[in-house]
Every structure is written in structure tokens, then in C-alpha cells.
Chain A
Amino acid sequence: MTLSGHDLTIGYTDHVVGRHLDLALSGGEVLALLGPNGGGKTTLLKTLLGLLAPRAGEVKLGGRSLTGYSVRERARLVAYVPQSHVSTFAFTVEAVALMGRTAHGNIFSRPTAGDRAIALRMLERFGVAHLRERPYTMISGGERQLVLLARALAQEPQFVVLDEPTANLDFGNQGKVMREIRQLAASGHGVLFTTHDPNHAMRAADRVYLLRGGECIGEGPTSTILGRPQLEALYGGPVEEISDRSDGRTAFLPG
């Protein structure tokens, strides 16, 4: 199955954010969306999720137009992990994960024992099952991100779309989230994430998509696309490239 955008014009009623955007994501693959602030990353993400209608062009899911899916059908195929935030109400971690089962019941149905088992299994997968009785508002930012990942997987989707999954996380948790993203792809999910850090794309992504000023200025395998000239063009500033002589891996530093 493929999630793809074809000649997309994205934006809101009062202004267009980007034009002529084409991209595709297959199962088992990780695609990273890189670009400066205001470049259209989040707008593109929302368009691909079907939360924002494209101004022109089409989003396709499994060969069918995304507009042909009901909200519920869509949620069973594509899950969204928003930036971790503090919710208004102090739901338990378990209740938050259980919300991922929403699309599998009807509008009046209560969660079944099966739903609870799936939610709990996902919390276990991300190592946060011990927090299940704790209020979601009282756990750390890193733990919240993992709970949101568990909620997304409880949807049993084919695709997982993450908006800056490493923002507001400490160094250790950033690594954990990157490893989990690789795990998702290994289990057959198509993963799309935005990030401010090219090193995270180097770590976790098979392919990258560079978005600047609403235009795609580069797309392809991470190892060939991510280099100093491309990043300098993308962010409009100097970038330093550091290579490890022993295995040839690279990392980037701003400035």
C-alpha cells in the first residue's frame, strides 16, 4: 500500500503555502521531511493526513483518492502522532492509549476487552505500561511521546505520521524515539516524520524530502541527498559536515 501526494498545492483559504509537491511513502519505509520553519512541513503533513484539503492535486491512499475514505476508515490506515502536549483533563495513560481504538468501534460503542488488551500491548511495546494508571498530565515529555506512539499503534494503522517526534525530548529519549521509528518500519509500517535535525533523518530515514518556501528542493535516499551543499541551500546558512573515518558515517553541525 502507498500513501502519495500528486502535484499538491497546499495551504489555507487565505494563502497558499506550497505548490507542485509530489511524494510517495510505501510500507516498510521511513521518509523524513526536512526544512526551515515556515517552509510548509506541518501543512504538508496535515494535507497527507486528510486533515486539510489540498488546494489542488490529489492525495491517494492505496490507489484510491483519500477523500473517498470516511474519517473512520482513514484512521484505521493512517495514524497521526502530534507533538506531545499537555491535555486539559488528567486522563490516565491507559485511557489515552485506549483512544487509539476509537476508529475500531462505532460512535456509541464502549471499548471492548480486546481493545483494552491491544492498548496495553502497545504501552508495553514502548515500555510505558507501568505508567498506565498515572495521569497523562503528570508524566515526562518523553513518556508522553511514547504514550502517543502507543496510541497511534493501537489504531493498527499501515502508516504512521509523526510531527516533530523529537521536539522537546532529552538526548536519551530522542534516541529512543529514533529507534522506535526504525522498529515501526521493520514491522512493515510506512513512517513519515518531520524534524529540525538532519542527524535524526540520517539516523532513522531511508529517504528524505527537503521542503523550503513551499517547494521541494531535493528528494531521494538519505545517504545521497543529505550533504553539506543541500543542507546549506535548505536552511540558507553555513553547515559543517563531520565524518567518521572508520565507517564513513556523517553528522552535521549548524554554523
Chain B
Amino acid sequence: MPRSAVPGLLIALAILIAGLLLALTVGRYPVSISELFDIVAAKLSGRAPDVPAAAVNVIWQIRGPRVLAAALVGASLAIAGTAFQGLFRNPLVSPELLGASSGAALGAVIGIYLALGVFAIQAFAFVGGLVAVSAVYLIGSAIRARDPILVLVLTGVVIGALLGAGVGLVKYIADPYNQLPAMTFWLLGSLAAINVADLIPLFGPVALGTLVLFALRWRMNVMSLPDEEARALGVSTGPLRIAIVAAATLVTSASVAAAGVIGWVGLVVPHIARTLVGPDFARLVPAAALLGGGFLLLIDTLARNMTAIEIPLGVLTALIGTPFFVWLLASMSKTWS
């Protein structure tokens, strides 16, 4: 682990900036970097830009909101994954494994079925995510076993399957012409439909949850110790755990409500961040946020440009995440006794 976190954080920042530039310039209507700078400079100084109006529109109306959403959602999922991994003392944990994503998915699908507004769908997603994570955690810790982490992960799988059945049921009874395509599209994860108005309900909860997790990042080190040890060190683990779970679930649910279910980011990114800056949460949380944003920007740019039709984000992240998880399992099993 490097003594200084600065090089690692700079690399993460560079990836985010590269992701931003790439996502803003590449697409069906290419915008060059110099055009992009001119558009931004013109906006800042209030003068008329020297580039075609179509390019200005593409940047401010179409790509801008989408790019911002990708960065926010990526950062959120990565921070939530980092927090969950620390809290549950397991580097294999991710928001989707603990039910936060599938709970939020069920909540949001019910919201769509009831034809509710954006804010109500988000509230449903949040409650769904929170209930799912709480259920997984309570059931997992109520079962006394030799390997509590395995129990937790298996509980997550079981609850996830139950929630999946719930999603299936809602899809089955949904209106096949209006609601079902929206649900299917949304369950695979996509940022294609994001517009400026969607950014507000995404930004608020993400900012709040991220602020809480950032403020608590020094305590997350102690929270990753066994509960009794953390209490003996002077941490009221009960309230703090609830605060961290609520904040991580809030950012996950807001992301799911805005962009649908995008798996794997919350698992893969914290690991890459850990190799950059080490396991200390004080530097890991900011590194994961920067990397997560950059990672999802790159994935979303790929999703837009790889083929004539857009590839759902969840499909792409799964293609990357599955081999990564297998590799992680193989390398971790060496240290398991």
C-alpha cells in the first residue's frame, strides 16, 4: 500500500476526466475536444459559440444530462459497494448481493405499475431497497453458523430470488403495451432516457447519501472490525451501522430509480480502488467515487457506440463483472482456510 494516497487518487481522477471527455465527444454526432471546450467556454462567458447549433444542443440537451447521470450513478454504486463491503466485512459483497438493487427494482417496478410519478417511484425504490437489505441482514445474523459471511451471502441470494419472483409477478400483470416495455428496458439498466428533469431526483438523494458516507469514512475502518472490538474502541456500532446502511441504500435506490438495475459496478470498482489506494476507507471512498464515475462513463460510451442499437448497461457490466468475480473467488479461496 502506498504511503501517500495522492498518486492513486490522481489516477482515479484522470480516469474520470478521460471518461467525461470521451463520453461527451464520441457518438453518432461526433464533437471534437476543441469544439467541446468552445461550447463550455461560450456558456461560461455568455457569448455565442463558434460551432454549429446542433453540436451545442447535443452537448447541453442530450449528452450532458446523460454524462452527468452516468458519473453520478457510477460513483453512487461504487461508494455503496465500498460501504457494504466494509460493513459486512466481506470483499465479495455488493449492493445487488445484499438485495439493495433487487429490492429497489421491485419497489420501482411496482411504482411503474401503479403509474406513479418520478419522486414516488424513487421513494418506492428506496423503501424496497432498505427493506430488502434489512431482511437479508437480520435473517443472516439470526442464523448462527460457523461461516456467518457465507450465510449472509446465501441469504442475499435467497431474498434476491424472492424479490425476482415479485418483479416477475408485477411484469406478468402489467399492461403489455405500455408498462411492460418500460419495465423490461429499465430492468436491464439504461441511461438512454435520461433528461434534465431526471437529474434532480437523482442528484438530491445521491448528494445526501454520499455526504453521509464521506463524513463517516474515518469510522468505516473501525466498523469493518468485529462488532465487539469496534464497540470496545468507542464506536456505537448499532446507530452507525444503521446510518451507513441507510445512506448506501439511499444512493443505490436513487441510482436504480434513475438508471435501472446496473449490476457489478458496486463489486468491481471498490476492488480496483483498493489496489490503487489500499484498504483505508478514508482514501478508498473518494477513490471509489472517482473510479466508479469514470468506469460507468466508459461503459455507457461503449453501450452507445458499439453497435447500431444501444446495448443495455446491465448486459455490458455483467460481461465484465462475471469473469472478474470468478477471478476474485479463485484468488480469495487461496487465503480461506
Query: What CA separation (Å) do A92 and B1 show in the bound complex?
Result: 8
A102 touches B279 (CB 8 A): no
B280 on the interface (CB 8 Å rule)? Answer: yes
- Enumerate A78-108 residues with CB–CB distance to B below 8 Å: 78-80, 82, 85, 87-92, 95, 99-100, 102-103, 105, 107-108
Q: Which of A85, A99, A151 has the most CB of B within 10 A?
A: A99
Asked whether A75 and B234 contact (CB < 8 A) given A89-B224, A133-B1, the answer is: yes
B90 touches A75 (CB 8 A): no
A15 on the interface (CB 8 Å rule)? Answer: no
Contacts of A205 in B (CB 8 A): none
- Enumerate B164-215 residues with CB–CB distance to A below 8 Å: 215
Contacts of B278 in A (CB 8 A): 90, 92
Query: What CA separation (Å) do A103 and B222 show in the bound complex?
Result: 11
A189 CB to closest chain B CB, in angstroms? Answer: 15
Q: Which of A90, A107, A135, A155 has the most CB of B within 10 A?
A: A107
Q: Which of these, B91, B219, B225, B280, contacts A107 with CB under 8 Å?
A: B219
A102 touches B234 (CB 8 A): yes
B221 touches A91 (CB 8 A): yes
Query: What CA separation (Å) do A71 and B240 show in the bound complex?
Result: 12
A102 touches B222 (CB 8 A): yes
Q: Which of these, B218, B228, B240, contacts A82 with CB under 8 Å?
A: B228
B145 on the interface (CB 8 Å rule)? Answer: no
Contacts of B226 in A (CB 8 A): 82, 85
Query: What CA separation (Å) do A111 and B217 show in the bound complex?
Result: 12
Query: What CA separation (Å) do A105 and B235 show in the bound complex?
Result: 11
B271 CB to closest chain A CB, in angstroms? Answer: 11
What residue of chain B has the Cβ atom nearest to residue A88's Cβ? B89
B221 touches A71 (CB 8 A): no
A74 on the interface (CB 8 Å rule)? Answer: yes
A99 touches B279 (CB 8 A): no
Query: What CA separation (Å) do A181 and B150 show in the bound complex?
Result: 37
Contacts of A70 in B (CB 8 A): 236
Contacts of A87 in B (CB 8 A): 224-225
Contacts of B222 in A (CB 8 A): 99, 102
Q: Which of these, B218, B228, B234, contacts A72 with CB under 8 Å?
A: B234
Contacts of A74 in B (CB 8 A): 234
A75 touches B233 (CB 8 A): yes
Q: Which of these, A78, A88, A151, contacts B91 with CB under 8 Å?
A: A88
A107 touches B216 (CB 8 A): yes
A51 touches B232 (CB 8 A): yes
Query: What CA separation (Å) do A71 and B216 show in the bound complex?
Result: 17
B235 touches A102 (CB 8 A): yes
A71 touches B231 (CB 8 A): yes
A108 touches B215 (CB 8 A): yes
Query: What CA separation (Å) do A110 and B283 show in the bound complex?
Result: 11
A82 touches B221 (CB 8 A): no
Q: Which of these, A46, A100, A107, A109, contacts B233 with CB under 8 Å?
A: A100
Contacts of B40 in A (CB 8 A): none
- Enumerate A87-142 residues with CB–CB distance to B below 8 Å: 87-92, 95, 99-100, 102-103, 105, 107-111, 133, 135
Query: Which B residues contact A (CB, under 8 angstroms)?
Result: 1, 3, 86, 89-91, 215-216, 218-219, 221-222, 224-226, 228-229, 231-236, 240, 274, 278-280, 282
Q: List 29 A-B contacts (CB under 8 A).
A: A49-B232, A71-B231, A71-B236, A74-B234, A75-B232, A79-B232, A82-B228, A87-B225, A88-B90, A89-B91, A89-B224, A89-B274, A89-B279, A90-B1, A91-B221, A91-B279, A92-B278, A92-B280, A99-B225, A102-B222, A103-B233, A105-B218, A107-B216, A111-B218, A133-B3, A135-B1, A151-B233, A155-B233, A155-B234
List 14 extra interface pairs beyond A89-B86, A111-B218, CB under 8 A. A46-B228, A49-B228, A51-B228, A71-B234, A71-B235, A87-B224, A88-B90, A89-B274, A89-B279, A99-B233, A102-B219, A102-B234, A102-B235, A155-B234
